[in-house]
Homo-oligomer: A and B are copies of this chain.
Amino acid sequence: MGNGMSTKQHLLAYLKEGKGTWISGESLAHRMTISRSAIWKHIRTLREEGYVIESSQKKGYLLRQSSDLLLVNEIQEGLSTSVFGKRGIHYFRHTDSTNTRAKLFASEGAPEGTLIVAEEQTRGRGRRGRRWFSPSGEGIYTSIILRPSIPPNEAPKLTLMASVAVAEALISMTSLALSIKWPNDIIVNGRKIAGILTEISTEMERIDYVVIGVGINVNTSRKSLPSDIENTATSVLMETGNPLPRNALLRAYLEWLEIYYTTFMTKGFEPVMKRWKHLAGIIGRRISVDLIERIRTGEVLDIDKDGFLILREQDGTVERIISGDVTLLNK
């Protein structure tokens, strides 16, 4: 059963071992050397955490369905990463913003790979201080702390890397046709299904930490969308008609993220960039891009090696853009 497990986790492991069969309270109490009333107490707690456990005076207990909550033990069960999600997961039923929490943990020295997960964000954030709609239990809202040894001006690459990892996770678990919209959105049928918010803490020439926050609309229903995003947002459930286990999707994201991060740090950014370009399909497209203080329109020549967008404007001038709101124009 492994060490460091709580009694409750032990009990859960026995129930999972049962694979949908009944296990008597007596045999559980015997194997765990605790009283039957203690068993009952832990069963109640597990039910509160979302596990569907049937009970019968005669037959004992049966685990009908695992919790869909993003519980630490559920995330870690079968997680094949080396570092990401293995060095501490901070789980919140609700919090203001997982990025805000991550920055606080990072300021206090939390190591690379530390994960923050919330069922609900009360002040979920997107770029430029925008809101990210984060209803309880319907999406994945997670932030990871990285401490890469790269100069601060290479940080935009990390957003591209994360968008590739989110895209790969969705591709590996659904049949959705998706594309990446530079710099930080994942789009299905013209609507946003996921977004990335990267925040960085630096001295001038040295990164202290990077927080990559991801919001994925997983089991959000169309009717729950607020009116201001009902025409621009979508979810896995809306697109496929089926709910997806959030824990499995989160694990897939962490595994892909670790693969691409390791590639970036050991082999450089080119392999990541290559995959990004394949998934983005923005190069050669006419776009307009809103840069807060002005709007530029033109053709995308490239995303350069630093992750900047290279735009040729109508008058022929070429601009290098770090980040902005892109609108694809007609071909």
Contact = CB atoms under 8 A, between A and B. Distances in A.
Given A107-B107, A200-B202, 6 more contacts: A127-B203, A128-B203, A197-B203, A198-B204, A199-B203, A201-B201
A114 to B, nearest CB: 15
Contact of A292 (B107, B199, B205, B324): B205
Contact of A201 (B103, B197, B322): B103
Interface string A276-311: 000000000000000110000000000000000000
Q: Is the interface of A mostly helix, strand, loop or mixed?
A: mixed
Nearest to A208: B199
A246 B280 CA distance: 57
A7 B205 CA distance: 48
Contacts of A67: none
A208 B200 CA distance: 10
Interface in A153-212: 153, 155-156, 159, 183, 197-206, 208
A199 B155 CA distance: 15
Interface in A101-151: 103-104, 107-108, 127-129
A156 B100 CA distance: 25
A198 B206 CA distance: 11
A323 B198 contact: no
A163 to B, nearest CB: 13
27 contacts: A100-B107, A103-B107, A103-B201, A104-B104, A104-B107, A104-B108, A107-B107, A127-B203, A127-B206, A129-B206, A153-B153, A155-B204, A156-B204, A159-B204, A197-B203, A198-B203, A198-B204, A199-B201, A199-B203, A200-B200, A200-B201, A200-B202, A203-B323, A204-B322, A205-B291, A205-B322, A205-B324
Contact of A206 (B104, B107, B128, B205): B128
